[in-house]
Structures are given as structure tokens and as C-alpha cells.
Structure 1
Amino acid sequence: MQVTIEAVSGVARRLNVSVPTSRINEQFEARLKRTAKTVKINGFRPGKVPVNVVRREYGAGIYQEVVNDTIRDAVFEAIQQEKINAVGMPNIEKVENKDDALVFEATVEIYPEVDVNGFTDLEIERKTTEIKDADVDIMIENLQKQRQTWADTKGMAKKDMQVTFDFEGTIDGEKFEGGSAEDFKLVLGSGRMIPGFEDGIIGMKKGEEKVIDVTFPEDYQAENLAGKAAQFTITVKKVEKPQLPEIDAEFLQVFGLSEEDGVEKLKADVRKNMEREVKSGLRNQVKQAAFDALVAANEIEVPNAMVAQEIDRQRQQMVQQFTQQFGAQGAKAFDSSVLPDELFKEQAEKSVKLGVLVSKVLQDAKLEVDQERVKSFIEDMASSYEDPTEVIEYFSTDKQQREQIESVVLEDQVVDHILASAKVTEKEVSYQDLLAEQQARQQG
């Protein structure tokens, strides 16, 4: 077998392969004989069918099978012979018989060979934050809000109050589907309704009726309503103001504390959890900044096969998130196949480029996972659980879970390696801004 190689692009090679016809003929004859021992043909006993009869009846099909198998085997032999680091399946073209040989072309994508630029020109922003007493107070207030109750008020409806009302909507004087409801509950300021709807209710009192004018957004999910002006008749039945629970023995018990522990112990525990979240958030922020800078400074070409695999992975990840949010039945109704590749392509290409670059950094720097950092990572994560020892045991002994943590730690080591040479500037941000940024990143 003869093989020649030419570069089609930075990540694609064309193999010109020539296989002697004698190799195909030998395999063809051998397969005819094997077939003659098993094939059933009327007039012949099993295993006694003459080869020439098999040749006449099945020869064309068997020969094509041999050719297909030969091409498949020859491609992988050529890849191995030429030490090609292939990704994805080869694309076979121009198959023909020529000068006592079967010749064909096979285009195969290869793993990118890259040289990572130095890190000294990378500009990376590392954010820092300090948890203030006011941040802790806000967090405790949020915990109270999660358990708040509602109390009737005769006053006007304001933001953060809950209003129970009936509404009936019309467009050009005609009612429309989904435009009316009774005893509808709404916390003003929650943003659940179309723009202008909640603003129209603010200031109303129990028993009051009012007509408000609103316009459906141009991108509203119901196309028959998108961009249209509507009127809603609002009848308020109840206005309630929020009541936060007292930080008493019952409230403290929810968080595993006694009345003797008091609010100061609650604040200390809340601060500890916030510090843990901040540590994780800052680590993720600087990791993202470092990786973004790394990708931006190294323009590389990546194989379509790797991008396609990453698109499939991200699509499956979306299905998993959908399952977690809406349950198995909701996920079953969600057809991920309708999601176009273009929806994932940009992020998939960036992810593949980053993976290639990080692998090269690991190789060049000869970095290996620091088991002490893995141990510290597991202990820090376990500290937020009621029984840290059990959690440490689980993540230390479960092979799959430990490998995932080792992967995260190794990424952190790559980031530290980059930061050691890069131009790093620090920017102090408030805890609230850091939290908002982290939530936006998770939603995006």
C-alpha cells in the first residue's frame, strides 16, 4: 500500500492511498469460500455449494463489501502508518481502479498543532471584594424575605406589595385568549407582567377599579399579540404588605441554631458562607478572564469534527438543565434536535480553542495535578455540609467525582501559571456587584 499526504488546511490532510488489486482479489476469493460454507441455495446441501455458484449469485455484492472493507482498513492503516493525530471520521472521495490498484482520496482532520504565545503581554483583571457588615445584614434580610408572610392593608399598592385582583383585557374592544383572570396574585416589581402593567396597579387600593393602557412587546411569544396596544380593566380585591419574620428561636432553628446562639452566631455563619461563595466567585472570575485573554492572544484553527462534538455536548447539557428545571416529563417534551447548530457554534468554537490551548500549556509547563490542592478543595467544599467527614470520604473515594475535582484544580493551576507572567491589575468591587455578575454569568 502506498500513501502520500498533502495539507488541505492547518487542520486537514488529504491522503492519497493506493491499494494493490491483488490484495482485494485475495480477500474476495477468501470471502467467497467462507460464504460457500454457510450460504443456502436450492439444490445444494449446506456447506456444499460450489464457489463458482456463489460467485455467480453473490459475487458482485461480496466484491463491493470487500472493496468497502479494504478502503476502511486502508484508511486507518495509513493514519497509523503516517502517525497522523486524527480527529473525527475520514471523508472518502474519488475511488477508482487504476493500474492494477484501487486508488482513493481520504480527507481527515487532525488535532491542531499550536505554539502558545508568551503570557507577558496578556492583560488580565483580577477582582477583589470585602464582605462588609451591611452585606451580611442584606443577606439575613433576604433569608427573612424567603420566609415572609403577607398582611392586609387598606393603603395604596406599592412596590414589593402583593396585590390580588381580577383583570380583563381587550384589543380594539375585543377580548382575546389568555387576556383575563380572577384572583390573580402579583408582587409588584417582580417583572412578571408586560411593561406598564404593574406600574398601572401601583397606587390602587382594595375595591378600586381602573383601566390601564399597555402595549405588548414586539418580541412577545404570542405572535397574534406582539406589538399590539391593549386595555386592561383591573379590579383590586386585596392589597398585602410583606411581613418579615422575627429573628427568634423558631427562625434560628431553621438554620440549626438555638436561641442561646443568637443573631450574632447566625451572622457569623452567614458571613462564613458568603466568604466561601466569594472565594469561589473570585476564582471563577479570574479564571474566565485569564482564559479569555489566552484565547484572544492565540488565533488558532480548530477541526470541524471537534466543534461538532462540543455542540452535541452543549446541546445535551441544555437538555439536562431543562430536566432539572422542569422534570423528566418536561424534558421529554423538549425536542433538542430542533435547536440549530448555529445556536451553539460560537461558544463551541471558543471552548474547543480553549481546550487545545490549555492542553498545550499543560504540556509545555509539564503541570500535573497537585493532590494537596485537591485535598484542600474537597475539604473546603465539604465544610458547608452538616457532616463534612462523609462528604470528604465520598469525593475522595469516588473515582469519577475525584477526577472532576482534579480537572478543576488542574485548570486553577494553569490559571496560576498564566497569572505569574501576565500583566495583572486588581479591581475592587462590592460584594453585591460581584454577586450580580456571578448570577449573570450563570444565566448566560
Structure 2
Amino acid sequence: MATAVETLGKLERRITISFPLTDVRTEVEKRLKVQARTAKAPGFRPGKVPLKMVAAQYGYQIESEVLNDKVGRAFNDAANENNLRVAGFPNIVPKEEAAEGQLAFDATFEVYPEVTIGDLTAVEIETVQADVSEAEIDKTIDILRKQRVHFHTKGEAGEHGDGGEAVAANGDRVTVDFVGSIDGVEFPGGKAEGYAFVLGEGRMLPEFEAATLGLKVGEAKTFPLSFPEDYHGKDVAGKTASFTITLQKLEWAHLPEVDAEFAKSLGVADGDLAKMREDIKVNLQREVAGRVKARNKEAVMDALIKVAELEVPKTLIAQDSERLAEMTRQDMAQRGMNVKDVPFPAELFAEKAERRVRLGLILSQLVGDNNLQATPEQVKAQIEDFAQSYEDPREVLKYYYSDRRRLGEIEALVLEENVVTYVLGLSKVTTKAVAFDELMGSNAQA
């Protein structure tokens, strides 16, 4: 039996559910007898253990299961009878006062909100577009060359030349010994032998690189170095040290020529440079298309958040915060980081979770109202598009269609794209051209 629904807040509700104690006892006894059929105990054959001993061993567990079942069933029945769309899980606690012979519980919970979406035809959305030019292809080739760089002793004649004067310059790989001290005392981490780095990459502090420039093999230099206040080594942060470096080895960077061999190294079997450039262009266009789509989707989602009115259930935010915290923990662990004793407070993820839940409710409303569900044909087309960049597209199709969860991820992606297309079709859209480097961000730099 359940009482009438009490309204505690905009979304918070409460129901009191109760049932006879005899119903619980009857069900417990019934389950104990079933348990006794297979129960084991020293000195008794299986199934011959006295019921009292079975009750002593399993009674508490079975009673808890019966209560959970009855309370859960009663709550679900009450929610269905009152046409309640329960958000998350209810908080169920025993009621202190109950009628004689009855067990009573208060179930406090939230319901899904009403979602009101404003006039989409009045919404202004700025989308972006970007092109891949020959300059971007050239820049990508330079990046690929740098990834395949190899070093030769500077000043020694070889197949590719001698690299010029044997003096340390930007782009050279240097191998040095160094020792640092503060007030005449060496400090931990301030000494190394055979330490190699490439000048100009910013791996070392500016003063260190500047002191290395111009050195020849065997030469040494002593110089002051000021550690930044925010330096990761707290013992030396904000302090000035005296360093002495000795150049032990000097190598110049030889970039591979853009020729047939270079093209073959990129997977162009016949070494055709025109085909190599075309392959690079296709890959860049695919990357640009993906980033443009992501930027435009984000613009649509931002617009929907502004135009929609709804209360977001706190229960769903809390659940998603926990989910995000666990996902972060697992991701860091997979990257090889030791996070066993690292706390991941769910509160840190509350803002992101609130946005995710809000958008989920808005999208659900739009999809339901406008029949924007993902069709099987759309899902297959999306997977086939993913598969284009793999050697065996059939394996990609098998990967997704063999797992319902993976297929669900694709369906959710297509659903979002359907919403984006729908909203852009109604709203006032302006398109801004963005530079390739701006779109690609730091990934465009090398």
C-alpha cells in the first residue's frame, strides 16, 4: 500500500509505502525452506540440515532480500499508478511510526522535469568552415619529415654533408654533462652526465639553452640560471643556481628528402609523390571535417542550453558526477599512472555533469517530439565512414555490430547529428571561415 504523492520541491517527491509484517515473515519462511533443500552443515547430509540452523545461517540475508524485493516492487507499483517518471534511484528509509503489524518506509525521489524549448527559428548560431590548401599539405610534410629526422656528427663529412661549422646551434642535438649548485652546494636533480636534448625545442630552460648555443665539443661554460617561481622542483623554485655545462657530443639534424623513398615510408607503395600529397590531403580533409563538425555541434548545444527551460534533477547530476570520476580514474590508470590512493571527489565533476544531464534531457525532448531517432541505415553509414581509415573495413563493422553497447554509442552519435541538422535547419545560421591552424590548435604546430 502507498500513500498519496507528497510534493517536497519542484522535482522532489515522497511516497510512504507499507505492507503487513506477516507477508514478510511468510516469504522469508518460504525462501528458507527452498534454501534448506541444498544447505550444507557439518554432520548433516545436504538437504537434511534443520530449518533452525538454516535460519541462523541465512536468515538475515534472506530477510534483507525479501524486504528489498517488497519495497522495490511496492515503490514501482506506486510510481506506475501515479504516472511518475522517476529520475535516478529513490532514497528509501524505514519509517519510525507504523501501524501495528505493518512495516512502513518513506521513499524520497525526484521526477523528470518538463522541458520547454523556445523558438528555434529565432536562435542565432555561428558555424565554422575551413579548407585544406597546398600550404597545409606542405606543412604536414614538414612535420612528417621532422618525425623521421636522423642525426649525424656535426662537422664530419658524410653521405648527407657535414652540417656546417661544428658549433652548437638551434636544431642540433647536443649531449652534455652538467652540474648545478646553489650557494656553492649541489642540489638533487642538478647534475647529469650524457644528457641529450635538441636545441630550440624548449625542453630546457631558456638560460640553459642560451648557454649551450655556440659551444664546441669539449668546451665548458659556467652561467647563472634563475628557476621560475612555479618550477616543478619546489626545492629550487624561485632560486638562482650556478651551472657548469660541458659539451660532449654535437649532432646536426638531417631531414629526409621528399622523394620516392620518403613516399614509400608513408605507405605509398610505388613512391608516387603526387599520390602521397593526395593521401595527405584526404587525411587532412577528414580531420578538418571532424573538427568542424565538433565545433558546430558544440555551437548548437550551447544554443539549446540557452533556449531551453528546465529543472535538472540533482540525483542525475550526482550519478553522472560519480560516473565521470570513475571514467577519469580508469583513463589515468590505463595511461600507466598510479591512482590507487588518489581521491577523485565527484564534486569536481558536478559542473560538467550538470551540462551533460541538461543536454541529455533537452535532446531527449527534441528527439521524441520530432522523430529524430537514429535509423539502422544511418548507423550503418556512420560505421562505414569510420571504417574508411582502416585496412579491413569489415573488421570495423564486425567490431560494432558484435557488441550492443558499442552499437549504442554509434546510435547516440547519429542521434546527436540528427538533432544538429534539425536545429541548424530552423535557426539563423551564419558561417565563419577559420584558419587551418586555428581549427587544429596545438596539433597544427610542430
**2:130 is matched with which residue?**
129
| 1-structure distance, mates of 2:183, 2:322 | 46
**8 A Cα contact 2:383 2:397, kept in partner:** no
Matches within 5 A, 1:42-441: 70-93=70-93, 95-100=95-100, 101-151=102-152, 152-153=154-155, 154-194=165-205, 196-258=207-269, 261-298=271-308, 300-325=310-335, 330-331=336-337, 333-335=338-340, 338-388=343-393, 390-391=394-395, 393-394=397-398, 397-400=401-404, 401-436=406-441
Shift of 1:283: 0.9
SS class of match (2:321):
helix
Tell me the distance in 2 between the aligned counterparts of 1:54 and 1:138: 76
**Residue 226 (structure 1) shift:** 3.4
Q: Is the 8 A contact 1:12 1:108 kept in 2?
A: yes
Cα offsets for 1:89-138 (capped at 9, x unmatched): 32234612344454442211233331222323433221111211111111
Asked whether the 8 Å contact 1:96–1:102 carries over to 2, the reply is: no
Amino acid across the alignment from 1:244: L
Deviation at 1:258, TM superposition (A): 4.5
Give the direction of change, closer, same or farther, for the CA distance of 1:167–1:102 in structure 2 (3 Å limit).
Answer: same
Contact 1:216 1:228 in 2 (8 A): yes
The question of whether the paired residues in 2 share the 8 Å contact of 1:166 and 1:234 is answered with yes
SS of 1:338's partner is coil
Structure 1 residues 198 and 116, CA gap change in structure 2 (3 angstroms) = farther
Question: Deviation of residue 140 (structure 1)?
Answer: 1.0
CA distance in 2, matches of 1:94, 1:379: 54
1:196-238 Cα distance to aligned partner (Å, 9 max, x none): 4434434444333223433434444443333333332222223
TM-aligned CA deviation for residue 18 of structure 1:
4.5
Q: CA deviation at 1:282?
A: 0.9
TM-aligned CA deviation for residue 69 of structure 1: 6.2
How far 1:419 moved relative to its partner? 0.9
Pairwise CA RMSD of aligned residues?
3.7
Give the Cα–Cα distance (whole angstroms) in 1 for the partners of residues 23 and 384 of structure 2.
64
Change over 3 Å in CA distance of 1:105–1:316 after alignment to 2: closer
Structure 1 220/313 Cα, relative in aligned 2: closer, same or farther at 3 Å? farther
TM-score, normalization: structure 2?
Answer: 0.81
User: CA offsets, 1:218-263, max 9 Å, x none?
Assistant: 444443333333332222223333211112332222223245x532
Mark the CA change 1:163 to 1:279 in structure 2 (over 3 Å): closer, same or farther: same
Choose the corresponding residue for 1:28, options 8, 25, 28. Answer: 25
Name the counterpart of 2:159: none
Unaligned runs of 5+ residues in structure 2 are 42-46, 156-164
Counterpart AA for 2:148: R
Contact 2:178 2:192 survives alignment (8 Å): yes
Contact kept, 8 Å, 2:119 with 2:307, in 1: the verdict is no
Distance in 2 of aligned mates of 1:414 and 1:237: 62
In 2, Cα distance between equivalents of 1:47 and 1:257 = 76
CA spacing shift, 1:141–1:61, aligned 2, 3 Å: closer
